[in-house]
Chain A
Amino acid sequence: MSPPAEIASAPPGRGADFARGIGLAVALALLPLLAFWAVNVGSVPIPLDGLLAGVLDFDGSREHVILREVRLPRVLAGLLVGAQLAVAGAIMQAVTANPLASPGLLGINAGAAFAVVLAIALAGFDGTGTLMWFAFLGAGTAAVAVYMLGSAGRGGATPLKLALAGAVLTAFLASLTTTILLRDENTLDSVRLWSVGSLSGRPVDAVAAIAPWGVAGLMGAVLASRPVMTLSLGSEVASALGQNLALWRAVSAVLVVLLAGSAVALAGPVGFVGLVVPHVARLLVGPDYRWIIAYSAPLGAGLVIIADTGLRWVAGIDLPVGITMAMIGAPVFIALVRRRGWNLR
């Protein structure tokens, strides 16, 4: 607890914000280094000048083809997906005042994944750019469904009820998704891999199709972070402060659907990023969601890159990132729960 305690008791005024700003700059500066490392994990090493040449001055060599078709798309997809899911989780935790809220636990990822698989299996759609729209639709529908299920009955949408509704919907949709994938012989292996969350084999086009939406969502989240912080104080205080609750809840929901939906369209339902990263950010910078959202982007991007690359680097085993992320995320999550006595009622 020593870093956050130090920041919290920093001298009044700009001292604390200055320290947080430096920390954010360091986190952002580490990302290119991490990406360079990730690009180099594999049988063909790619030095820095080779990387630059491959991007700026493509010569068709085997090294450049691997870089452009395999390594770079994978790393870029990881950066995007990690940042998007983590920021979506941060927004959800703020708006629902729920420490368990995340696109994975509240069924948003499962809804997007189910809609995408349905579109592939039943209607034969393909191309990430097209499937993304189904992901948005599925994510939005799941969000509405979980909110309605979770706020039914007495006491409204308590954190526990929302989490339960999300778990139920996730289990239900995941089993439907699996059923479709098991029964449909024609579905490609890449779709099966995608359905557990994977960054491998993402074509450059897919990354390019998602990137504008993801970046727009991230920028929107940063812009909306101050109202989101006020929203996190609860409806009573926020409306007394003059906030238009309906407007900012809607903006938050649209941002979450945009961020999580496009991430799932690209890499499938990767769990734990959206849950764990905002908590880690909160431990570092305190309860101000302006900073939590800003920190969640680089932390989420870095975590997904490490999860996707770490095992390949250490043992040469290429497991889908949805699985490696769960291996990292589950123990981290348990540690977080044990550290803070969460009140879920």
Chain B
Amino acid sequence: MSEMTATARLEARSITVGYSNRDVLRDLTLSVPPGRFTALLGPNGSGKSTLLRALAGLARPSAGEVMLNAAAMRTMSRRQIARHLSLLPQTPRAPDDISVRDLVAQGRYPHRGLFKPWSSMDREICTRAMEMTAVADLEAKSLGHLSGGQRQRAWIAMTLAQSTDMLLLDEPTTYLDIAHQLDVLDLLRRLVRDEGKTVVAVLHDINHAARFADHLCLLKEGEIVASGPPGEIIQARHLRTVFSIDATIIHDPIDEVPICIARR
């Protein structure tokens, strides 16, 4: 799996993406660093979610090209894409009474043919996905009986069962309380460090992004204003440009992670 990870490449080449008559992204170019945790940050309406959907092949660019492992995504089937890249939508939906095990098993969809029976390999991959996300003990429980954090981890387990190199998540911490937010972010960081996954997540909290991600992209009005490691990106001038806020940046005395204090 680590050999595949080294070659997993996802990039947007001058893409323009819009709905009906409004362009949400304009001539945007982004190369996702492989084997790193990238956070997309920006105010509401800046095009973060649209960029994520375009990278996942769910929003089609009207100009430009999204490249997945050096192949144009528009030439690939959904199944081919889903073997390399999994996406967790912002508010995924499933019946409340579906069990965690059955939900996670859905992650095997792109790897199964119509007549291909459930194999021991499928089962092992699902079990491992549930262990990584610490939902293995909950596998017989139904989704409706889980806490918000457990439910989100179950969904992440489903995307892990897809055994893809890349994992894209749309606001995975929204609606969670602070402990569960940290839980999910820590899980994503471990997936990058221990499993060699490439993670791209839309996040709202600047300080969470600075602490957990390796690479930040600041978006404003459909364009990338700045991108790079948190130490370079979390600067007062960038935050003023992107979020229109006055902020003071200090550094965590323990690990030097930049912390943004928004003053206005």
Instruction: Report the nearest B residue to A238, measured CB to CB.
Output: B109
Which of A10, A223, A233, A242 sits near B78, CB closer than 8 Å?
A: A242
Q: Is B139 at the interface (CB under 8 A from chain A)? A: yes
Q: Is B149 at the interface (CB under 8 A from chain A)? A: no
Q: Quick check: B87 and A240 within 8 Å, CB to CB?
A: yes
The digit string for B52-69, where 1 denotes a CB below 8 A from any CB of A, is 000010100000000000
A198 → chain B, closest Cβ, in Å?
Answer: 36
Selected A-B contacts with CB under 8 Å, 21 pairs: A8-B140, A12-B139, A226-B112, A227-B114, A230-B106, A230-B109, A232-B95, A234-B93, A234-B94, A237-B92, A240-B56, A241-B107, A241-B110, A242-B79, A242-B80, A243-B79, A243-B109, A244-B77, A245-B78, A286-B102, A288-B98
User: Ordered nearest first, which 6 A-B pairs have the shortest CB separation?
Assistant: A242-B82, A242-B110, A287-B95, A240-B87, A242-B79, A241-B109
Q: Is B88 at the interface (CB under 8 A from chain A)? A: yes
With A234-B93, A236-B92, A242-B83 given, is the CB distance from A286 to B99 under 8 Å? yes
Q: Is A9 at the interface (CB under 8 A from chain B)? A: yes
Given contacts A241-B106, A242-B77, A245-B78, 18 further A-B contacts (CB under 8 A): A8-B140, A11-B140, A12-B140, A227-B114, A229-B106, A230-B106, A237-B89, A237-B93, A237-B106, A239-B58, A240-B58, A240-B87, A241-B110, A242-B79, A244-B77, A244-B78, A287-B102, A288-B98
**Distance A308 CA – B247 CA, assembled complex (angstroms):** 76
Q: Quick check: B99 and A243 within 8 Å, CB to CB?
A: no
Q: Quick check: A240 and B82 within 8 Å, CB to CB?
A: yes
- Which residues of chain B from 100 to 128 have any CB-CB distance to chain A below 8 Å in the complex? 101-102, 106-107, 109-110, 112, 114
**Distance A4 CA – B99 CA, assembled complex (angstroms):** 12
Q: How many residues of B contact A (CB 8 A)?
A: 33
In the assembled complex, which residues on chain A have CB atoms less than 8 Å from the CB atom of B94? 233-234, 237
A306 → chain B, closest Cβ, in Å?
Answer: 27
Instruction: Report the nearest A residue to B57, measured CB to CB.
Output: A239
- Which residues of chain B from 10 to 68 have any CB-CB distance to chain A below 8 Å in the complex? 56, 58
Which of A8, A229, A237, A240 sits near B99, CB closer than 8 Å?
A: A8
Q: Is B97 at the interface (CB under 8 A from chain A)? A: yes
- Which interface residue of B77, B109, B114 has the most chain A CB atoms within 10 A? B109
B131 → chain A, closest Cβ, in Å?
Answer: 13
Instruction: Report the nearest B residue to A9, measured CB to CB.
Output: B140
Q: Is B162 at the interface (CB under 8 A from chain A)? A: yes
Q: Is B86 at the interface (CB under 8 A from chain A)? A: yes
- Which residues of chain A from 254 to 297 have any CB-CB distance to chain B below 8 Å in the complex? 286-288
How many A-B residue pairs have C-beta atoms within 8 angstroms? Tell me: 80
Which of A10, A12, A226, A236 sits near B114, CB closer than 8 Å?
A: A226
Q: Quick check: B106 and A8 within 8 Å, CB to CB?
A: no
B contact patch SS: mixed
**Distance A236 CA – B110 CA, assembled complex (angstroms):** 15
Q: Quick check: A239 and B101 within 8 Å, CB to CB?
A: no
Instruction: Report the nearest B residue to A10, measured CB to CB.
Output: B140
Instruction: Report the nearest A residue to B116, measured CB to CB.
Output: A226
In the assembled complex, which residues on chain B have CB atoms less than 8 Å from the CB atom of A241? 82, 86, 106-107, 109-110, 162
The digit string for A6-18, where 1 denotes a CB below 8 A from any CB of B, is 0011111000100
B219 → chain A, closest Cβ, in Å?
Answer: 21
Q: Is B132 at the interface (CB under 8 A from chain A)? A: no
Which of A229, A237, A240, A287 sits near B97, CB closer than 8 Å?
A: A287
- Which residues of chain A from 147 to 206 have any CB-CB distance to chain B below 8 Å in the complex? none
A223 → chain B, closest Cβ, in Å?
Answer: 7
Q: Is B245 at the interface (CB under 8 A from chain A)? A: no
In the assembled complex, which residues on chain B have CB atoms less than 8 Å from the CB atom of A232? 95
Q: Quick check: B114 and A223 within 8 Å, CB to CB?
A: yes
- Which interface residue of A97, A241, A243, A288 has the most chain B CB atoms within 10 A? A241
Instruction: Report the nearest A residue to B102, measured CB to CB.
Output: A288
Q: Quick check: A239 and B78 within 8 Å, CB to CB?
A: yes
Q: Is B81 at the interface (CB under 8 A from chain A)? A: yes
Q: Is B142 at the interface (CB under 8 A from chain A)? A: yes
In the assembled complex, which residues on chain B have CB atoms less than 8 Å from the CB atom of A245? 78
In the assembled complex, which residues on chain A have CB atoms less than 8 Å from the CB atom of B89? 236-237, 240
In the assembled complex, which residues on chain B have CB atoms less than 8 Å from the CB atom of A227? 114
**Distance A89 CA – B89 CA, assembled complex (angstroms):** 28
In the assembled complex, which residues on chain A have CB atoms less than 8 Å from the CB atom of B142? 8
**Distance A288 CA – B82 CA, assembled complex (angstroms):** 22
**Distance A236 CA – B82 CA, assembled complex (angstroms):** 13
Instruction: Report the nearest A residue to B155, measured CB to CB.
Output: A237
Instruction: Report the nearest B residue to A290, measured CB to CB.
Output: B102
A276 → chain B, closest Cβ, in Å?
Answer: 18
- Which residues of chain A from 1 to 37 have any CB-CB distance to chain B below 8 Å in the complex? 4, 8-12, 16
**Distance A185 CA – B8 CA, assembled complex (angstroms):** 73
**Distance A127 CA – B260 CA, assembled complex (angstroms):** 78
**Distance A242 CA – B86 CA, assembled complex (angstroms):** 9
- Which residues of chain B from 163 to 208 have any CB-CB distance to chain A below 8 Å in the complex? none
**Distance A85 CA – B173 CA, assembled complex (angstroms):** 43
Instruction: Report the nearest A residue to B107, measured CB to CB.
Output: A241
**Distance A16 CA – B110 CA, assembled complex (angstroms):** 24
